[in-house]
Amino acid sequence: MSPRTTAVLAAVVLVVLAGWLYTRNLADVPPHVMHDEAQFALQAQSIAQGGRDLSGRFLPVFFTEPEFPAGRDPAIVYATAAILKVAPFGEASARYATALVGVLDVVVMFVLVRALCGSTPLGLMAAGMIAFTPVHFIRARLALSPMYSIPVILLWLWTLIEYEKKPTVPRGMLTGAWLGLGLYTYLACVIMMPLYLAASAMLLLRRHGLSSAAALIAGFAIAAVPMLIWYGAHPERVAQIVGSYREFSSAPEVSSVEGIRTRVSLFWSFFDPAFLFISGDSSLINSTRQAGFFPAAFAVLLPVGLYWIAKSRRPVFWVIGAGFVLSPLAAVASGAIEMNRLMFAIPFGVLVAAIGAAMMLGGRSAEQLAVLLLLASIPLQFARFHTDYSYRYRDSVGTWFGGNIRGAYVPVIAGEPLHGARPVLISERIPFARRYWRFYALASGRPDLIDHPVYFDGHPPDAPSGSKLVCGTGALDCQSIAAGAGWRKVLSSGDPGGPPSFDVFAREPLP
């Protein structure tokens, strides 16, 4: 069997295994759809139906919403819209495009490392590393935009490696174009992609001259044209982005001594071994707290990889090493170590660890044995993590995902007749109540009910017999309704082993 045939068969096996692993039970694990996931899905559904977003704009570059006027990232919306062209709207289909991006990462990592090291086994090793990285798996199962930056980074590095082998103008432009396309994947890429472009330009300028760097920059610029046009038409976007980050960040201004000290501390906090290799993020949206950001074996493989990168004379190795060390830069600039802005560490960290493993495999017999044991521990640790994620984690993190509002909304929607629907009253004190209602009305095949509810704040308005009312368990309005006459609780929605999150009441006939 030829090496090319072997590589193709290996890639097919990777796609099948990673696809099965990453797309199973997307509607149930995580247990509920977050409000950001719901909004991305609703924008995608609107685009899939008529090419217009929820504000009525035709194929926009960015998707504005009341909570974030600057506009959300387009890559996830258009990718999800493509899925919704062929799949029914719902929790699983909302997450499916992002899960496939996770699968794509696994395949591109295989291709990249095979090109970098000239070895199919090492490519398979690196593909397994990223597939079994806990945070990569968790975030691939959420319909959130930061995941979309990872395949762009991997494709950029792959084309950069191929350009080293055979410099051509089209390859140079494609290398830059990947970084330009990265600008549309996640907001923090506006910081990181130009840094990667500068690193690539210095590498090409040093090895291949000015024309190569010019081709790289031209590719980036061409890909960035739609964004530049959008910024020209919407100059307020920059101020909106800056204002939004200031609103949500409590860090001092970077221009002050305290601000600089805070950001240096934030930078080093990312490299905390407990965070990287033991417990992961404090938020249960991003971690089960039973595994680190990376597999525990990376505690050895990352330092070894960085050591060999420092000794290497291959410029692309230096780019990979610098990419890992600088990966928390966007998070530091924003003044908070948040997972969304740390996703850049995943591709670079896996590549650094893969380089460390490759070097140990080429060393003495003791090093080879040690690295084989480390590599064997990665799928074993992931199996334990995956079991925990699928059962204990699924049943215990409902409140982190907004509570079981599906369990309240869906029965109400199902009980409404096709004609002559009765009034539905919903408390405004339920976070993102309107967004979730729209999501589950569409998921239930009842678009006619999207604008049906009456939303109230405080005491509910009068309603005829048979009306339904939804409010948050424990909220003051819900308690007053439960204590008053005329309403009868018919349903409480919660998570397994936990307290109710939402209550549904029915209006009783007047005596």
- Find residue 472's DSSP bridge partners: 502
| pLDDT for position 422 | 87
Q: What is 143-174 written as a DSSP string?
A: --GGGGHHHHHHHHHHHHHHHHHS--HHHHHH
| pLDDT for position 252 | 54
Mean of the pLDDT values across residues 459-471? 89
pLDDT at 8 over 90: no
* Cβ within 8 Å of residue 247, ≥6 positions away: none
pLDDT at 408 over 80: yes
| pLDDT for position 392 | 94
Please state which of the ranges 107-121, 273-287, 329-343 shows the lowest mean pLDDT.
Answer: 329-343
| pLDDT for position 202 | 92
Q: Where are the domains of the chain?
A: 3-398, 403-507
Mean of the pLDDT values across residues 400-405? 94
Please state which of the ranges 71-85, 110-124, 247-261, 470-484 shows the lowest mean pLDDT.
Answer: 247-261
Please state which of the ranges 134-148, 323-337, 379-393, 432-446 shows the lowest mean pLDDT.
Answer: 323-337
| pLDDT for position 420 | 77
- Find residue 471's DSSP bridge partners: 503
pTM of the model: 0.94
The sheet with strand 487-494 has its strands ordered as: 454-456, 424-427, 468-472, 500-507, 487-494
Sorting pLDDT into bands at 50, 70 and 90, what band is 107?
very high
| pLDDT for position 483 | 74
Q: What is the pLDDT of residues 418-456, one digit of tens each?
A: 887 789 999 999 999 999 999 999 999 999 999 999 999
pLDDT at 497 over 80: no
| pLDDT for position 250 | 53
Q: What is the pLDDT of residues 338-360, one digit of tens each?
A: 888 899 999 999 999 999 999 99
CA atoms within 13 A on the CB side of 395: 8
| pLDDT for position 330 | 87
Q: What is the pLDDT of residues 370-389, one digit of tens each?
A: 999 999 999 999 999 999 99
In whole angstroms, what is the distance from residue 255 CA to residue 148 CA? 31
Sorting pLDDT into bands at 50, 70 and 90, what band is 159?
very high
What token pair was written down for 468?
A: 């339904």
Mean of the pLDDT values across residues 221-231? 94
Percent of the chain with pLDDT over 90: 71
| pLDDT for position 476 | 78
pLDDT at 234 over 80: yes
In whole angstroms, what is the distance from residue 477 CA to residue 377 CA? 52
Mean of the pLDDT values across residues 461-478? 88
| pLDDT for position 264 | 85
Name the more confident of 242 and 387.
Answer: 387
Sorting pLDDT into bands at 50, 70 and 90, what band is 462?
confident
In whole angstroms, what is the distance from residue 212 CA to residue 196 CA? 15
Total length of the chain: 511
| pLDDT for position 195 | 95
| pLDDT for position 498 | 81
Q: What is the DSSP letter of 89?
A: S
What's the mean per-residue pLDDT of the chain? 91
Mean of the pLDDT values across residues 454-463? 88
| pLDDT for position 116 | 95
pLDDT at 249 over 70: no
| pLDDT for position 251 | 57
